[in-house]
Chains A and B, each alone.
Chain A
Amino acid sequence: MRVPTEASFTSRLRSPAIAARVGVWLGICFAVCFVTGLVSHWAQLPRPAVPFPTSPAWGYRVTQGLHVFTGVACVPLLLVKLWSVQPRLLRPLGPSRRVLLELAERGSIAVLVGSAVFQLATGLANAARWYPWQSFSFRTAHYAIAWVAIGALVLHVAVKLPVIRSALGADVESAALDRPTATRAGALSRRGLLGVTAGAAALALLSTAGSAVPWLRRVSVFGVRSGDGPGGVPVNTSAERAGVRTVAADPAYRLEVVHGDATVRLGLDELAALPQRRETLPIACVEGWSASGTWGGVRLRDVLALVDAPAGTAVVLTSLQESGPFRRTRLPGNFVDDDRTLLALELAGEPLDLDHGYPVRLIAPNRPGVLQTKWLARIEVVDD
Chain B
Amino acid sequence: MTERVVRVGLGVVGVLVAAYGVVLLLSRQESAQVLEVATWAAVGIVVHDLVLAPLAVAAGWALPRAVPSLARPPVAAAAVALATVTLAAVPVLGRFGALEDNPTLLDRPYLAGWGVLVAALAVGVLVAVLVAAARRRRAPPGPTGAASENEL
Contact yes or no, A200 B81, CB < 8 A: yes
Across the two chains, which residue of chain B brings its CB closest to A223?
A: B108
Residue A216 is within 8 A (CB to CB) of chain B in the complex:
no
B152 partner residues in chain A, CB cutoff 8 A: 4, 8-11
Is the Cβ of B37 less than 8 Å from the Cβ of A118? yes
Closest-by-CB residue of A relative to B91 is A128
Looking at the assembled complex, report how far the CB atom of B63 sits from the nearest CB atom of chain A, in whole angstroms. 6
A153 in contact with B3 given A128-B106, A145-B37, A187-B76 (CB within 8 Å): no
Which of A133, A137, A146, A192 contacts B77, CB < 8 Å? A192
User: CB distance A10 to B151 under 8 Å?
Assistant: yes
**Residue numbers in B under 8 Å from A224 (CB-CB):** 92, 105-106
The residue from B16, B30, B32, B44 contacting A113, defined by CB atoms under 8 A apart = B44
Name the B residues within 8 Å of A82 (CB-CB).
48, 53
A35 within 8 A of B: no
* A196:B80 contact, CB within 8 angstroms: yes
Q: How far is the CB of A305 from chain B (nearest CB, A)?
A: 35
Residues of A within 8 A of B6 (CB): 158, 161
Q: Which of the residues B52, B88, B110 comes within 8 Å of A124, measured between beta carbons?
A: B88
Nearest residue in B to A125 (C-beta to C-beta)? B91
Asked if residues A207 and B85 are in contact (CB atoms below 8 Å), the reply is yes
Task: Flag whether B8 is at the interface (Cβ < 8 A).
Answer: yes
A158 to B14, CA, bound (A): 8
Question: Which residue of the partner chain, among B83, B91, B117, contacts A130 with CB atoms under 8 Å?
Answer: B91
Residues of A within 8 A of B40 (CB): 118, 121-122, 133
A292 at interface, CB cutoff 8 A: no
Residue of B nearest to A139 (CB): B28
| Residue pair B76, A186 in contact (C-beta under 8 Å) | yes
B25 contacts A141, C-beta separation under 8 Å: yes
Q: Which of B30, B44, B64 contacts A117 (CB 8 A)?
A: B44
> Is B132 an interface residue when CB atoms closer than 8 A count as contact?
no
Report the minimum CB–CB distance from B131 to chain A (whole Å): 14
Interface centre among B8, B28, B44 (most CB of A within 10 A): B44
**A207 vs B108: C-alpha distance when bound (angstroms):** 12
Contact B84 A75 (CB under 8 A): yes
The answer to whether B48 and A117 have CB atoms under 8 Å apart is yes
Give Cα A108 to B42, complex, Å. Answer: 13
Count of inter-chain pairs, beta carbons less than 8 A: 255
B18 at interface, CB cutoff 8 A? yes
Task: Describe A's contact surface by its main secondary structure.
Answer: helix
Q: Say yes or no for A334: interface residue by CB 8 A criterion.
A: no
Q: With A and B bound together, what is the CA distance between A121 and B39 in angstroms? A: 13
B96-A222 in contact (CB<8A): no
Interface residues of B in 77-95 (CB under 8 A from A): 77, 80-81, 83-85, 87-94
Determine the residue in chain A with the shortest Cβ distance to B84: A76
Is B136 in contact with chain A by the CB < 8 A criterion?
Answer: no
Contact A113 B104 (CB under 8 A): no
- In angstroms, Cα B84 to Cα A111, docked, is 22
User: A11 touching B14 by the CB < 8 A rule?
Assistant: no
Q: CA separation between A8 and B33, bound complex, in Å?
A: 40
Which residues of chain A have C-beta atoms less than 8 A from B72's C-beta? Answer: 187
User: Is B105's CB under 8 angstroms from A110's CB?
Assistant: no
Alpha-carbon separation in the docked complex, A198 to B45 (Å): 23
Q: Once the chains bind, are B63 and A187 in contact (CB under 8 Å)?
A: yes
- Determine if A155 and B77 form an interchain contact, defined as CB atoms under 8 angstroms apart: no
With CB as the reference atom, state the residue of chain B lying closest to A117.
B44
A159 CB–B CB distance under 8 Å: yes
Closest to A114 in B: B41
Residue A150 interfacial (CB < 8 Å): yes
Of A235-243, A322-330, A362-370, which binds chain B? A235-243
Residues in B neighbouring A197, C-beta threshold 8 A: 80
Contact with B along A146-187 (1 / 0, CB 8 A): 111111111111110110010000000000000000001111
How far is it, in angstroms, between the C-alpha of A151 and the C-alpha of B53 when the chains are bound?
25
B75 contacts chain A at the CB level, 8 A cutoff? yes
Known: A151-B17, A224-B105. 18 other contacts (CB 8 A): A8-B150, A76-B85, A80-B80, A114-B41, A121-B40, A124-B88, A125-B91, A127-B91, A153-B14, A154-B10, A161-B6, A192-B73, A197-B80, A203-B117, A207-B89, A208-B88, A222-B108, A224-B106
**Hey, which bits of chain A sit against chain B, CB under 8 A?**
4, 8-11, 72, 75-76, 79-80, 82-83, 86, 89, 110-111, 113-115, 117-118, 121-122, 124-125, 127-137, 140-141, 143-159, 161-162, 165, 184-188, 192-193, 196-197, 199-200, 203-204, 207-208, 221-226, 228-229, 234-238, 240-241, 355
Q: What are 13 of the A-B contact pairs (CB < 8 Å)? A: A8-B152, A10-B150, A76-B81, A86-B53, A118-B37, A118-B41, A124-B91, A134-B36, A136-B33, A162-B3, A200-B85, A224-B105, A235-B104
The 7 A-B pairs of least Cβ separation, nearest first, read: A221-B113, A151-B18, A147-B21, A155-B14, A117-B44, A151-B17, A114-B41
